[in-house]
Homo-oligomer: A and B are copies of this chain.
């Protein structure tokens, strides 16, 4: 704590900072890919959300409750409720100078948990409590990092 400064934490040769930037980038691609999952369902089922969109596919309709579209939307919405807060919680946590192994492992497990979450929710639907458990892993990591940072910077 005494000998750490922001320049040593946000150093491009610090493996924790590199891991932060790497897993953040992977998760950004993952979330943006979730938009395409929904778009794919819309074109497959010809179900769009705005009246002007129905010109995009022959025979398309404007329907708001198609179950396949809604499923990918819910998976995407869950990303939006969680992943941006990982980016900021991990940043604040990184500023507490955590042990490098622990920090990198938390970032890795979080990224894997969110990718698996999308798979079991919207690609290969798995029976519960699979999704609840996978969600909890990421949730607990976020809470842990944010609480550590709140205590440190109090």
Contact = CB atoms under 8 A, between A and B. Distances in A.
Copies per assembly: 3
Interface residues of A, number: 58
* Main SS class of interface, A: helix
A147 B25 contact: yes
A29 B150 contact: yes
A92 B71 CA distance: 30
Interface in A59-97: 64-65, 71, 74, 76, 80-82, 84-85, 87-89, 92, 95
Interface of A: 4-7, 10-12, 17-19, 21-22, 24-26, 28-29, 31-32, 35, 49-50, 52-53, 55-56, 64-65, 71, 74, 76, 80-82, 84-85, 87-89, 92, 95, 121, 125-129, 131-132, 139, 142-143, 146-147, 149-150, 153-154
Nearest to A93: B25
Contacts of A150: 22, 25-26, 29
A57 B125 CA distance: 19
Given A88-B24, A153-B18, A81 B80 contact: yes
